[in-house]
Amino acid sequence: MALAVAAFTRYHSKYYRRRMDISIVVPVYNEEESLPELAAWIQRVVDANRLTYEIIFIDDGSSDKSWEVVQTLYAVDHNIKGIKFQRNYGKSAALNEGFRNASGDVIITMDADMQDSPDEIPLLRNMILHDGYDLVSGWKKVRHDPISKTIPSKFFNWVTSKVSKIKLHDFNCGLKAYRAKVVKSIEVYGEMHRYIPVIAKWAGFRKIGEKVVEHRPRKYGTTKFGGLTRFINGFLDLASITFVSKYGKRPMHFFGTWGTLCFIAGFIMSIYLIITRLVHTGIGLSNRPPFFIALTIMIIGSQLFLTGFVAELISRNAPSRNSYLIENKEGF
């Protein structure tokens, strides 16, 4: 463990203050075959455009030889950096760690499976620097995926666009460009990488653009994502990020409002039923279901109100969600 922390410290002290034109952040999970070709392609593109650069590979607990490949690439070119997690934490954690360590004026994210084209990098960078966008998301308008994946994806993107009011066609595209200030101002956790544009918007970065990008057929390996649970979790995450974005810093406004309304509604019902009991002496309370419903509503209202208080305390004292990663990675 001490070795992992020391290696990370060397990485940080050596490169963090060295400004680059561009940082390319690439999460890696069992992609040993594609990494050399991807690195060579990125290098050709940035060299042709005379950009200073760094490529940050984040090995998300790969079980193949991906980390050994990254080490080999670093030995040849010190513009290539590497961070390794001791186990698989997920794409969001990998991106978040890449953002923390990126030193470029523009940060590009892309997948390691060769389905994203590095040739898109210069135009994405220009949209950030010259067109004034805070974030530019790729749109894989023509996709080389089975219909079982494209149809649910279109529905997912449509719902997300309606809920977030961000006009993007492809929220989950791995190829994105960011102004440095954006990635330093947000935190990505859980499976929230699908909603980085939403997180950025709620952080105050509202100039979000889109660019049609090439989607290449997978050349190596198999997809690491898919299945029904991916989309179920996606919508749950959307509900979560929408709630957190609106009420994360003021949970009492949500729970307190609904708790107060429930309590008042239950209290008014109870008072009405008690008055009718006093006026009509032949009518009892214990055998009237509305009375118990009113009591239940009052109890729910009280619980919601107390939940708001507890949530306020948690939100004011919660540490960073990704702080545990510092003790579980190594790098150079």
Q: Which residues contact 134 (CB under 8 A, 6 or more apart)?
A: 128, 178, 179, 181, 182, 200, 205, 206, 207, 208
Query: In the chain, what are the domain boundaries?
Result: 2-246, 251-317
pLDDT score for 278 = 80
pLDDT score for 148 = 65
DSSP state of 212: E
| 192-222 pLDDT, tens digit each | 888 899 889 888 899 999 999 988 877 776 6
**Among candidate residues 92, 102, 99, the one with its CA nearest the CA of residue 20:** 102
Tell me how far apart the alpha carbons of residues 205 and 26 are, in angstroms, rounded to a whole number: 23
Torsion angle of the four alpha carbons 305, 311, 313, 314, in this order, in degrees rounded to the nearest 10: 160
What mean pLDDT is reported for the chain?
82
pTM for the model: 0.72
At 330, the pLDDT band (50, 70, 90 cuts) reads low
At 324, the pLDDT band (50, 70, 90 cuts) reads very low
| 242-286 pLDDT, tens digit each | 676 666 667 888 888 889 999 999 999 989 888 888 877 766 677
Task: Tell me: pLDDT of 1 over 80.
Answer: no
Task: Tell me: pLDDT of 321 over 70.
Answer: no
For residue 59 the two structure tokens come to 């090995």
| 76-104 pLDDT, tens digit each | 998 999 999 989 988 999 999 999 999 99
Let me know if 226 is exposed, middle or buried by CB neighbors in 10 A (0-12, 13-18, 19+). middle
For residue 331 the two structure tokens come to 């790098």
pLDDT score for 312 = 76
pLDDT score for 47 = 94
HSE-up (13 A, CA, CB side) for residue 241: 27
For residue 74 the two structure tokens come to 């670093």
DSSP labels for 301-330? HHHHHHHHHHHHHHHHH---TTGGGGGSEE
If one looks up domain 2-246 in CATH, what number appears? 3.90.550.10
